[in-house]
Amino acid sequence: MRILLIDDTARKLGRLRDSLSEAGFEVLDETGMSIDLPARVQECKPDVVLIDSDSPGRDVMEQVCMITRDLPRPIVMFTDEHDSGIMRQAIQSGVSAYIVEGIQSARMRAILDVAMARFEADQKLRAELHEREQQLNERKRIERAKGLLMKMKNCSEEEAHTLMRRQAMSRQQKLSQVAEQIIAMSDMLGE
């Protein structure tokens, strides 16, 4: 079984390559520019292509899939319906797999297990999920800051809202961050 390992992001894939080799797979590295992928795939005829889920080269692989649609061994994204669980897990852990049709999903699973163990789990997305409580507070904070600003500037609600939004956009911040700053400032001034 021949695996093409596409390494075009900052993630370190060196150990993945070794692990796959140790597990008895033939591993080819591709570190060139993604534009050459279609030619590279045609040339080395891999059974499996592994690529970082966050690689910009992903969209190039889509073209490879589209082109091979009418060939005897089309390359498809690994989306075996019975294995949607492992696919989801793989994408979340940062690896996407394209396979030649006909490869047994059990063999594919073995490869993905190795790959997933080696890819850094993508915790970022989960870490960004805020608690529901916090979201509800966001709106209250914006309202509170608006009220403080109206008092400080002796202006209308609409003017206060416009001032806050202008500040947020020019500083590339969220409106809720600006609200936070107004509240902090007001606390400090003993309002």
Subset of 153-172 contacting another protein (CB under 8 A): 157-158, 161, 165-166, 168-170, 172
Q: Is the dihedral of CA 153, 150, 139, 166 positive or negative?
A: negative
* Minimum gap (Å) between residue 165 Cβ and another protein: 5
Judge residue 72's burial from the number of C-beta atoms within 10 Å of its C-beta, 0-12 exposed, 13-18 middle, 19 or more buried: exposed
d(CA 38, CA 45): 10
For residue 189, the SS3 value is: coil
Q: Does 35 bind another protein (CB under 8 A)?
A: yes
Subset of 80-119 contacting another protein (CB under 8 A): 81, 84, 87-88, 91-92, 96
* Minimum gap (Å) between residue 24 Cβ and another protein: 28
- Please select the residue that binds another protein; options are 10, 82, 106, 132, rule is CB under 8 A: 132
The residues near 189 (Cβ < 8 Å, ≥ 6 apart) are: none
Are 131 and 33 a contacting pair, CB within 8 Å? no
- Please select the residue that binds another protein; options are 66, 117, 121, 184, rule is CB under 8 A: 66
The candidate with the shortest Cα–Cα distance to 161, out of 173, 143, 174, is 143
Q: Does 55 bind another protein (CB under 8 A)?
A: yes
Length of the chain equals 191
Alpha carbon separation from 88 to 4, 83, 107 (Å, rounded): 21, 9, 17
- Please select the residue that binds another protein; options are 19, 105, 107, 173, rule is CB under 8 A: 173
* Minimum gap (Å) between residue 5 Cβ and another protein: 17
Q: Does 63 bind another protein (CB under 8 A)?
A: yes
Indicate the helix (H) or strand (E) that contains 75. Answer: strand 75-77
Size, binding site for another protein by CB under 8 A? 59
Q: Which residues make up the interface to another protein (CB under 8 A)?
A: 33-35, 38-39, 42, 53-67, 69-71, 77, 79, 81, 84, 87-88, 91-92, 96, 125, 128-130, 132, 135-136, 138-139, 142-143, 146-147, 157-158, 161, 165-166, 168-170, 172-176
